[in-house]
A = this chain, B = another copy of it.
Amino acid sequence: MPSILKEKGPEELLKKYHLRNTDCRVKILESFQQFDFALSQGFLEEELKHSFDRVTIYRTLKSFLENGLIHKILDNEGGIKYALCSDDCSGGDHHHSHVHFKCEVCGQTVCLEKSTIPDVKIPKNFLVDEVNVLVSGICGKCR
């Protein structure tokens, strides 16, 4: 869990990842560090509405994703969310093995870093690249 992405300052992170230091990127990184749940593009748009265009936010997320600063989280309503990477995902080569949990009450999705992806048996002629697990239910806070 001790990920530099969650600990170092946004400006330092951008330098480390060879991304230019811009207001939008700093603000978005700050948002990810500030909230302890996964963020959707819509959430960030709302959060930064008066500061940046939605296309800029869209492109920033895309860039962060490609460079391994954030990872994508599936959603059962179609709307994808994002969270800071914990492992080393530099170069956009993501290596996550944790489960995601979506609360049906508060709607928040969180990374359960301690819940590792279990083994899934797949027909032997299939080649597995990635396994995504989304658990839905009620989170600790909402019970």
Contacts and interface: CB of A to CB of B under 8 A. Distances in A.
Contacts of A78: 75, 78-80
A122 B131 CA distance: 17
A101 B129 CA distance: 10
Interface stretch (A8-16, A83-91, A113-121): A113-121
B99 A125 contact: no
Interface stretch (A31-39, A45-53, A134-142): A134-142
A118 B118 contact: yes
A100 to B, nearest CB: 10
Interface residues of A, number: 37
Contacts of A18: none
Q: Count the copies.
A: 2
A2 interface: no
Contact of A122 (B101, B120, B125): B101
Given A72-B76, A132-B133, A99 B122 contact: yes
12 contacts: A74-B75, A99-B120, A101-B122, A114-B123, A116-B121, A118-B120, A120-B135, A125-B143, A127-B138, A131-B133, A131-B136, A133-B133
